[in-house]
Amino acid sequence: MTARTALPLRTLLTALAVLVALVLPLVLPEFQVTLLVNILIAGTLVTGLVLLTGVVGLTSFGHAAFMGVGAYTTALLTTQAGWSPWLSLPAALVVTALTALVLGLVTLRMQGHYLPLATIAWGISLYFVFGNTPALGGNTGLTDIPALSVLGTRLTSPRAFAYLALLCLGLSALGAQFLLSSRTGRALRALRTGPLVAEAFGASPFALRVQVFVLSAGLAGLAGWLYAHNQRFLNPTPFGLQAGIEYLFMAVVGGVGHVWGGVLGAGLITSLREWLRGTLPALLGQQGSFEIVVFGALVILTLQFARRGLWPLAERLLSPAAPARLPSPTPLPRRAVPTPGAPLLEVQAVSKHFGGLRAVQEVSFQLHAGEILGLIGPNGAGKSTLFNVITGVNPASSGRVQYAGNDITRLGAAQVHRRGLGRTFQHVKLLPELSLLDNAMMGGYARGRAGLLRSLLHLERHEEAALRAEAQAQLDRVGLGAQALTLAGSLPLGQQRILEVARALVADPTLLLLDEPAAGLRYGEKADLAALLRRLRGEGLTVLIVEHDMELVMGLVDRLVVMAGGEKLAEGTPEEVRRDPQVREAYLGADPVAPTGGAA
């Protein structure tokens, strides 16, 4: 089945799912409708966890506490201040978002296991605030929370309330899908592999983390608002650490990287919990929360046999969805091409020290527009360190880096990229679960303007159309256009490195920096890479290449800078470098390397 025929099938299944969701509240017994409402509320919260944990990779055990913030905010405003429940909704969202903003600014810079531990800490803290604050009813709770009304009709029936909960979940999931298919969504996915890729293409990793953290907390606050006006009674129990762990279970079992997987997990875990609560005590002959044991076993089995959750197993039955139809694009603006031969990049006495280690020491060279400059040297020569200094990943300890006449020495990677420097990585850094087209579009992040809110509301369609057209053009340029809808993870290494070049070209750089692009490539793949770089130079692109493969470099570059022990050893044309006795001793060996036809 091709993507062209898969789209109607997916549309049919989506329409069928919507129809079933609309009919269920009418045909199910009232107890099961109540259970359905609980599933829909949990699904709204878990949608936020999918964005935070599944997409960005930030694990939170405390989102049930954010649900409590939203619930208690609306309960206080409606019972004690006399607010309309509808007016309390934006207030609940704002209070939850502000709470998350404060906690996010404090905790989201933590790495590794420290962040999950921090979410446990503030989750427990908020839980005890709910239970020990007299104004919130303490552990006894708050009662007489008013019911919601629509056009004079009170939503006291589970059947009526189910449609409101269904609307909230539907809008939340749809907005999340829109977000993930946008430039912001691609940057969020890139964060899961570490901040380097997102920052290298103009994004601010910390700002993105804070934004998605606040958004996910807002969805939890929306779930709390629904919960409060559905139950019309609150106590701290549903907002404790155990509840937070259960919501994370839902995301993991359903498919933590997929929006609809989170909804599936909410349905499975909520239904299973109710069934087990009635069945296990009867089977065991005693009361207890035995369902927690079953949940633990279920998560272990899921992680063992279906680590991506259950939703991806269902996705395998369908072909990949065709790209959404977008408006006819307006071409993106392009940078002015620098005058050939003019100084473009100037490295002036740059040093980089890591404590007592002098990785780079007083290195200087110039790169002129329209040329290919090679940066070579033995292992440990300091090439990659200097590369990272130029691209803003690591600040220089001393010296200056100038680009197009501007000092970029103290700029971060995102700011350097926005000046017109595009790069690839020593180790391939792609999003294997996305198509070549989506991976290439990541390179155009800095050329777009739509942020998180516009993406949620799907107001970035014209910009997305322009980015998609540019990405397709660059894939065609490097010879991968026919495979645009193929998953990047299915490509051989050589084509993955070519894809990284295409992604960098989508940024419309004036200088392309390649970090060991031939590493791991076969002979023919190296020849293809060399031919591509020559063609790009002929089109006016300037290239700085860090490489170990001398056969490739000698037949490709216009000039070479040779490093050894963190210092510049030599500089000149390939012939001049080849004849330099110091270079031959330090790198080339006794006999100079002559280029061969394959790599040249």
State whether 503 and 513 are in the same domain. Answer: no
State whether 485 and 516 are in the same domain. Answer: no
State whether 350 and 453 are in the same domain. Answer: no
Cα–Cα distance, 415 to 393 (Å, whole number): 10
pLDDT in tens for each of the 600 residues of the chain? 344 444 467 778 888 888 999 999 999 999 999 999 999 999 999 999 999 999 999 999 999 999 999 999 999 999 999 999 999 999 999 999 999 999 999 999 998 889 999 999 999 999 999 999 999 999 888 999 999 999 888 999 999 999 999 999 999 999 999 999 999 999 999 998 888 899 999 999 999 999 999 999 999 999 999 999 999 999 999 999 999 999 999 999 999 989 999 999 999 999 998 888 888 888 887 887 788 888 888 888 888 888 888 898 887 777 666 677 778 788 888 998 899 999 999 999 999 999 888 899 999 999 999 999 999 988 888 898 999 999 999 999 999 999 999 999 999 999 999 999 999 998 899 999 899 999 999 999 999 999 999 999 999 999 999 999 999 999 999 999 999 999 999 999 999 999 999 999 999 999 999 998 988 888 888 888 999 999 999 988 999 999 888 888 888 999 999 998 899 999 999 999 888 888 887 765 544 444 433 333
93 within domain boundaries: yes
* Token pair in block for residue 326: 């977008």
State whether 454 and 581 are in the same domain. Answer: no
| Neighbouring residues of 291: CB distance < 8 A, sequence distance ≥ 6 | 272, 273, 276, 277, 280
State whether 406 and 537 are in the same domain. Answer: yes
* Token pair in block for residue 293: 């044991």
State whether 105 and 220 are in the same domain. Answer: yes
Complete DSSP assignment for 13-67: HHHHHHHHHHHHHHHS-HHHHHHHHHHHHHHHHHHHHIIIIIIS----S-HHHHH
State whether 501 and 513 are in the same domain. Answer: no
In this structure, the number of other CB atoms found within 10 A of the CB of residue 45 comes to 32
Sheet-wide strand order for 406-407 = 357-368, 343-354, 398-403, 406-407
Angstrom CA distances, 380 to 107, 183, 557, stand at 36, 37, 22
Q: Cβ(450)–Cβ(187) under 8 Å?
A: no
Host H or E run for residue 399: strand 398-403
State whether 446 and 589 are in the same domain. Answer: no
State whether 407 and 459 are in the same domain. Answer: no
Q: Cβ(531)–Cβ(505) under 8 Å?
A: no
Of 462, 480, 508, the last residue of a domain is 508
12 within domain boundaries: no
Of 186, 208, 239, the last residue of a domain is 239
Number of domains the chain is built from:
3
296 within domain boundaries: no
- Structural domain harbouring 528: 340-420+509-600
270 within domain boundaries: no
557 within domain boundaries: yes
20 within domain boundaries: no
The number of helix segments (H) and strand segments (E) in the chain equals 23, 12
Strand-pair category, 511-515 with 421-423: parallel
Residue type, 571: E
In this structure, the number of other CB atoms found within 10 A of the CB of residue 492 comes to 11
Q: What CATH number does residue 381 fall under?
A: 3.40.50.300
318 within domain boundaries: no
303 within domain boundaries: no
Q: Cβ(260)–Cβ(173) under 8 Å?
A: yes
State whether 487 and 533 are in the same domain. Answer: no
| Neighbouring residues of 199: CB distance < 8 A, sequence distance ≥ 6 | 205, 393, 412, 413, 414, 417
State whether 415 and 344 are in the same domain. Answer: yes
Of 195, 210, 239, the last residue of a domain is 239
State whether 525 and 500 are in the same domain. Answer: no
Q: Which residues pair with 368 in a beta bridge?
A: 343
Cα–Cα distance, 230 to 31 (Å, whole number): 14
